[in-house]
Structure 1
Amino acid sequence: MSDNQSHILVVDDDDQVRRMLRRCFEDEGYRVSEATDQSGVDAALDTGIDLMTLDLNLGGTDGLTIARQVRQNWDLPIIMITGKGDMIDRIVGLEIGADDYIAKPFHLREVLARVRSVLRRSGPRETASAATAAPTACIRFDGYALDMDRRSLQGSAGAIRLTSGEFDLLALFARHPHRVLSRDQIMDMLKGHDWAPNDRSIDNQIARLRKLIEVNAREPLLIKTVRGAGYCFTPHSIEA
């Protein structure tokens, strides 16, 4: 049984796939809602969703469009489950903020493992009582506050939305400032993520982070590229 009764939204226009995933998730103790299109997704999100599985190849609005709209308005982990096996589709999905990607046909045990991993990384949803809880571990750098317990990033203009993958990557950099990390080291240190050979999602996530925290993403000062070696997090000041 699931310990936290997480609520999963299954988005797929294949009735058989939706039923199979619903049965699988409910057997593990998760709450499950279903949707086949954008309107169904919008209605379900208002009920409180902890994670969404999303098919790219829907009959109406395509999954990528739905993922973009969800990412703009909700801090919600997304696992793309699709019959498209092309690497380009995977990269585009990760670029717009998907937290993981599974190609059909899939094994239900693999889906469950990915769901559990993403839910662990995304952390519990913040409640009113959490807002008044004891102070949490926080790393401050150059005007930003990275809250490790609440998995949030605050800047001078307010909260900055990060996917769970982006948060984990920034947290890794913040724990190892002024140290050059190769792509292989980053992939090894980010346990729980599923990386494919020649996977460029690290580079894509860094590009997105730069757009969020750099004054000029084309001339980054916080996350610098060290040619031939990797990346280095170089804040002017940092304190935990």
Structure 2
Amino acid sequence: METMSGRAMVVEDEAALASLVASYLERDGFEVTVTGDGADAVALARKVDPDVVVLDLGLPGLDGVEVCRRLRTFSDAYVVMLTARADEVDTLVGLSVGADDYITKPFSPRELSARIQARMRRPRTGFTGEQTPVTRAPDRVFGDLSIDVLGREVWVSGEPVHLTRTEFDLLAALSSAPGTVFSRARLIDTVWGPEWIGDDHLVDVHIGHVRRKLGDDAAQGRYVRTVRGVGYRMGTGR
């Protein structure tokens, strides 16, 4: 594993597991903050501005879903949700509030480390809660949708749209080859990395988020079109 640098937060009320995860992240070069309390995690995140948050779904009090929802109002940190239950409902609930990935307990700390390493090679959006108006010509235009790939900014009809890091990466991948249909497997490799192991339904969840934020839907497919049985491609914007 390559050594990386950055700030990580582990939000886990099981002390032994929190300590184990933290030790792996520290080995990988991260400065780590650990807490077992959801409300404390939100407050700490505002102070330390983490690049990565490893977040337990089943926290007492303020649970992982609510913590993630609040984090997404001010942070674009890469959020990995930990869950003790493998059923799809918990997974989808976590992802619906902006989690980038999930992993089911018990899990291999090496696998968690590999996923984080793969994602951290991609840049952050620098999200501060607001985006500025268009200041330069966008790289890609699809009707009313404008994408500035280098600046990692998106606008619809001139209005800024905030996408999480994962959502932006999906849109950037699709828009890089507008006439190409991307399978779920190809999008997983491109956005999450070839090391990622899990359910490719993850792609569908995040595509749904992208469509909602762009004011699009599967029936219209103005910006993102579903190719049944294959995957997704960019629409024309009409």
Q: Give yes or no for contact 2:125–2:165 (8 Å, CA) kept in 1.
A: no
Task: Supply the distance in 2 between the matched residues of 1:79 and 1:7 (Cα, whole angstroms).
Answer: 14
Q: Does 1:27 align with 2:33?
A: no
Task: Supply the distance in 2 between the matched residues of 1:211 and 1:70 (Cα, whole angstroms).
Answer: 19
Task: Supply the distance in 1 between the matched residues of 2:173 and 2:39 (Cα, whole angstroms).
Answer: 37
Q: CA deviation at 1:158?
A: 4.3
What is the 5 A alignment of 1:214-225? 214=215, 219-225=220-226
SS at 2:179 equivalent: coil
> Match for residue 83 of structure 2?
82
Query: Structure 1 pair 93/121, CA: closer, same or farther in 2 (3 Å)?
Result: farther
Q: CA deviation at 1:56?
A: 0.5
Task: Supply the distance in 2 between the matched residues of 1:119 and 1:138 (Cα, whole angstroms).
Answer: 24
Task: Supply the distance in 1 between the matched residues of 2:190 and 2:25 (Cα, whole angstroms).
Answer: 29
Q: CA deviation at 1:191?
A: 5.6
> Match for residue 92 of structure 2?
91
TM-score (norm 2): 0.81
Query: Structure 1 pair 29/124, CA: closer, same or farther in 2 (3 Å)?
Result: farther
Query: Structure 1 pair 158/36, CA: closer, same or farther in 2 (3 Å)?
Result: farther
Q: What residue ranges of structure 2 are gaps of 5+ in the alignment?
A: none
| Letter of the 2:45 counterpart | L
SS at 1:54 equivalent: strand
| Letter of the 1:207 counterpart | G
> Match for residue 147 of structure 1?
148
TM-score (norm 1): 0.80
Task: Supply the distance in 2 between the matched residues of 1:65 and 1:28 (Cα, whole angstroms).
Answer: 28
| Letter of the 2:80 counterpart | I
Query: Structure 1 pair 189/14, CA: closer, same or farther in 2 (3 Å)?
Result: closer
Task: Supply the distance in 2 between the matched residues of 1:101 and 1:50 (Cα, whole angstroms).
Answer: 16
Q: CA deviation at 1:41?
A: 1.4
> Match for residue 121 of structure 1?
122
| Letter of the 1:196 counterpart | G
Q: CA deviation at 1:185?
A: 4.3
> Match for residue 9 of structure 1?
9
> Match for residue 109 of structure 2?
108
Moved more, 155-164 or 5-14: 155-164
SS at 1:23 equivalent: helix
| Letter of the 2:32 counterpart | V
Task: Supply the distance in 2 between the matched residues of 1:24 and 1:136 (Cα, whole angstroms).
Answer: 42
Moved more, 98-107 or 159-168: 159-168
Identity %: 31
Q: CA deviation at 1:157?
A: 5.3
Q: Give yes or no for contact 2:166–2:191 (8 Å, CA) kept in 1.
A: no
Task: Supply the distance in 1 between the matched residues of 2:177 and 2:57 (Cα, whole angstroms).
Answer: 36
What is the 5 A alignment of 1:158-237? 158-190=159-191, 192=193, 194=196, 196-197=198-199, 199-214=200-215, 219-236=220-237
| Letter of the 2:8 counterpart | I
Q: Give yes or no for contact 2:95–2:101 (8 Å, CA) kept in 1.
A: yes
Query: Structure 1 pair 215/27, CA: closer, same or farther in 2 (3 Å)?
Result: closer
Root mean square deviation of aligned Cα: 2.9
Q: What residue ranges of structure 1 are gaps of 5+ in the alignment?
A: none
Q: Give yes or no for contact 2:221–2:235 (8 Å, CA) kept in 1.
A: no
Query: Structure 1 pair 98/184, CA: closer, same or farther in 2 (3 Å)?
Result: same
